[in-house]
Amino acid sequence: MRIGIGTDIEKVSRFELNLNNKSFLNKIFTQNELDYCFKKPKPAEHLTARFAGKEATIKAYYSLFDKFIKYQDIEIVNDKNGKPILRLNENIDCEISLSHTVDNAVAFVHLEKNE
């Protein structure tokens, strides 16, 4: 078994400034992610957490496969209890943890690939 881990921290202000920049947001997020975040009272905090999750995933994925994955190949959704779920286009066991404050968001990702 191979394991990849990644972590990332981001400033919420970056996404506060880009809430109306559809081109920017569509390059990074899936429609499901945008729908979820924009239903929240403070969408920038949720967008930032998902972006940190995607960045952490890219780092974990690179440590496993020595290649990069695109933002649109990563989707972070929530289960019925609110737990974040990481979806990748590959058969990899994934775990993700997201957290945010008014100013920052952080994410941690653990990937496992059985060989």
What pLDDT, in 10s, does the model give residues 4-58?
999 999 999 999 999 999 999 999 999 999 999 999 999 999 999 999 999 999 9
Domain count, the chain: 1
CATH code, 24: 3.90.470.20
pLDDT digits (tens, 9 = 90+) for 79-112: 999 999 999 978 899 999 999 999 999 999 999 9
- Residue 48's H or E segment, with its range, is helix 43-65
Number of residues assigned to the chain: 115
pTM of the model: 0.95
Distance of alpha carbon 61 from alpha carbon 15, whole angstroms: 24
Domain housing 65 = 2-113
